[in-house]
Structure 1
Amino acid sequence: MKKIVMTGGGTSGHVTPNIALIPELKALGYHIEYIGSKNGMEKQLIEAEGIPYHSISTGKLRRYFSLENFADAFRVMGGLTQSVSLMRKIRPDIVFSKGGFVSCPVVWAAWLCGIPVVIHESDITPGLTNKLSMPFARKVCYTFPESKSHIPQEKGVLTGIPIRKSLLEGNRAEGRMICGFEDNKPTLLVIGGSQGAVRINEAVRKSLGRLMKDFNICHICGKGNVDDQYRSVKGYKQFEYIREELPHLFALADIVVSRAGATTLFELLALKKPSLLIPLSRQASRGDQILNAESFRKQGFSMVLPEEELTPDTLADRAKTLFEKRQEYRKAMERSGRTNGTREVVRVIEETYQLKHARRGEGLES
């Protein structure tokens, strides 16, 4: 039996692409196990898929000085020791890493145990975790064409992002029923990411008077961010986090307001949903979302509203303009020909597996 260990966590963008790969890998005969953090969101998401889950000690990898770096260094080394033990116990043929700080010890342990690693980079520029993992990987799958210059030529493969098949199977009428919308106004879907987005949430609520003249609004606002004073407002539905119903809400959406995480962007591209992107500012991130959003703007897939320019009025104005020009954005996405990266990533995994066993047969690998 072919065995693969998957890893990645911290945000849904590091987990949902792995979930998209699971059915395809199972169909190819892989037994799948997962290594993640003890308390990260990946634990709940992966266990819901019926995949054996192993927890390791984790520490955050920071680019800046902090006294916590010293304690976290010991946690990372503990995670490495635990990962090596798991590699010897599970004996996988291959490891696939989607990133997030939990994945570094897993990748290093696989390399120490002689197990080939494939990693995936979502953003245009690699994050710190993947920078530290790349030297130990056989192949690096990447999402944006602009990423090519940041990845070793002999390792890089442009694949796109794996997208859950179920996401493409939503029903518009079902989405309308979930939201309880009673009229046929266009629907504006707001996604703040798995952690929510306080500034976007505030701007949406302060602009409801203008937005609801033209739209019904479905607002995914993040855990703990539902505002009770708006629960009874007709045409405005709030959710903390959506999983099973998300395909139906995407099907219902005419336009989308979103952060600019790569996973969400490529889901919107596959679904041909015009979007207004509000990337995290450089003050709150390393700037990867800004680059992601600019790439989609240049390709004609999205409008961009910098967070520094976000106000209730700019949000309402841009949303109205996006809706008026929605067909232009849909046509650009249709012309791109870029859809679901699942098949390409699985191909890289399978080729790496086959190469390992070919070398083993020739006595080049133990």
Structure 2
Amino acid sequence: MRTIVLTGGGSAGHVMANLALVPSLRERDWNVVYIGSRQGIERQLTQNLDIQYEAVATGKLRRYWDVENLKDPFRVLKGVAQSYKLLRRHRPAVIFSKGGFVALPVVVAAKFLRIPVILHEADLTLGLANRLALPFAAKVAVTFPETAAHLPPAKAVYTGLPLRKEVFSGSRTKLLATYQFSPQCPILLVTGGSLGAQNINQAIWRQLAQLTARFQIIHLCGKEKTNGSLQAMPGYIQMEYAQDEMPHLLAMSDVVISRAGSNTIFELLVMKKPNILVPLPASKSRGDQLLNAQLFASHGYSVVVEDEKLPSTDLSALVDRVYRQRAVYIDEMKKAAVPDGVEAVMQLISEYANAAGV
């Protein structure tokens, strides 16, 4: 049985594409090992999937001064040594890395052992960890065709984004009774990601009366960010985060308000969901969500509201406009040629495994 090492973490987005590959890997008789950090979200998301998990030391990118920044290079070096030992033990044919700083020690160690590394970049531009890992990689699979223009031609491969099969199996009616929602009234889904987005939450709460006059709302507020005073409001459901329920929430929604992480926006695209994107501002990120959102808006898939402008935006009127014009957005999304990211990445993995004679 061939072994593959999946790595990547620090955020749910760096993990979900890895997990989307697991069913296909198992169908093709691959042994899957996941290398991540000791306390990262990647460990939480893989713990119920019967995947062998190995932990290594890792640094962290902080966009602010912290004394821990001085220690991070030593953590990375320790992680490289740990990864080297793990890779020698497991002897994988291929490494597939989704990025994040936990992946960097694994990628560096793989180069010493001459194990081919396939990176995947979910966003329009390479994140810092992937930029640092680029010299050690055989190929870089990209989500957006535009990304390839910024990479060495011999390394870039347009695969699209591996999406979980569960995304396509949601039921529009499964949760209606659970939430006591009417099938005749449109549903607005609001999500700020696994950690939530307080600016989005506050914008919804400020205009909740106007919004619930027109829509039923499912609001994913983020961990410990729900508003206890609104728990009993009719037509309004708060949750911290959704995982197993998410395909059903997407299927039943008519309009979505969301951050602009690549996993989320591609799920909205394949599900043909009219949406309003509120990308993380450059002050809180490297600006990748701004670029993702601008690209989707330019194709007519999304409406974009800058995070800083949320307090002055008539969100209720904007949601209503997007809903009334939903057919226009859906038609544009139907024109999109979205590749099967799982199959494209699997072909790349097989190519390198076969070349190595494994």
Residue 363 of structure 1: aligned partner: none
Residue range with higher mean Cα deviation, 142-151 or 188-197: 142-151
Query: Structure 1's 51 and 357: CA in aligned 2 closer, same or farther, altered over 3 A?
Result: same
Residue 38 of structure 2: aligned partner: 38
Residue 128 of structure 1: aligned partner: 128
Residue 115 of structure 2: aligned partner: 115
Q: Deviations over 1:184-236 (max 9, x none)?
A: 31000011011110100111111111111110000111111111111101111
Aligned length: 358
Q: Give the secondary structure class of the aligned counterpart of 2:119.
A: strand
Residue 78 of structure 2: aligned partner: 78
Q: Give the secondary structure class of the aligned counterpart of 2:234.
A: coil
Query: Structure 1's 45 and 304: CA in aligned 2 closer, same or farther, altered over 3 A?
Result: same
The amino acid that maps onto 2:36 is G
Residue 334 of structure 2: aligned partner: 334
How far does residue 313 in structure 1 lie from its aligned partner after superposition?
A: 4.2
Q: Is the 8 A contact 1:270 1:339 kept in 2?
A: no
Structure 2 unaligned blocks of 5 or more: none
Q: Give the secondary structure class of the aligned counterpart of 1:34.
A: strand
C-alpha distance in 2 between matches for 1:180 and 1:219: 15
C-alpha distance in 2 between matches for 1:174 and 1:183: 11
Q: Does 1:232 align with 2:232?
A: yes
Q: Give the secondary structure class of the aligned counterpart of 1:152.
A: coil
Structure 1 unaligned blocks of 5 or more: 359-366
How far does residue 50 in structure 1 lie from its aligned partner after superposition?
A: 0.9
Q: Is the 8 A contact 2:258 2:277 kept in 1?
A: yes
The amino acid that maps onto 2:347 is R
C-alpha distance in 2 between matches for 1:65 and 1:356: 44
Residue 191 of structure 1: aligned partner: 191
The amino acid that maps onto 1:356 is A
C-alpha distance in 2 between matches for 1:340 and 1:219: 30
Within 5 Å, give how 1:250-269 maps onto structure 2.
Answer: 250-269=250-269
How far does residue 314 in structure 1 lie from its aligned partner after superposition?
A: 2.6
C-alpha distance in 2 between matches for 1:109 and 1:279: 34
Q: Is the 8 A contact 1:203 1:312 kept in 2?
A: no
Q: Give the secondary structure class of the aligned counterpart of 2:86.
A: helix
Within 5 Å, give how 1:87-98 maps onto structure 2.
Answer: 87-98=87-98
Q: Give the secondary structure class of the aligned counterpart of 2:282.
A: coil
C-alpha distance in 2 between matches for 1:338 and 1:139: 20
Q: Does 1:201 align with 2:197?
A: no
Q: Does 1:141 align with 2:141?
A: yes
Percent identity of equivalent pairs: 44
How far does residue 183 in structure 1 lie from its aligned partner after superposition?
A: 5.7
How far does residue 246 in structure 1 lie from its aligned partner after superposition?
A: 0.9
C-alpha distance in 2 between matches for 1:151 and 1:275: 30
Q: Deviations over 1:42-67 (max 9, x none)?
A: 10211211101011111113466653
Residue 361 of structure 1: aligned partner: none
Residue 316 of structure 2: aligned partner: 316
Q: Give the secondary structure class of the aligned counterpart of 1:140.
A: strand
Q: Give the secondary structure class of the aligned counterpart of 1:147.
A: helix
CA root-mean-square deviation: 1.4
Q: Deviations over 1:11-42 (max 9, x none)?
A: 11011111110001111111001000111111
Residue 246 of structure 2: aligned partner: 246
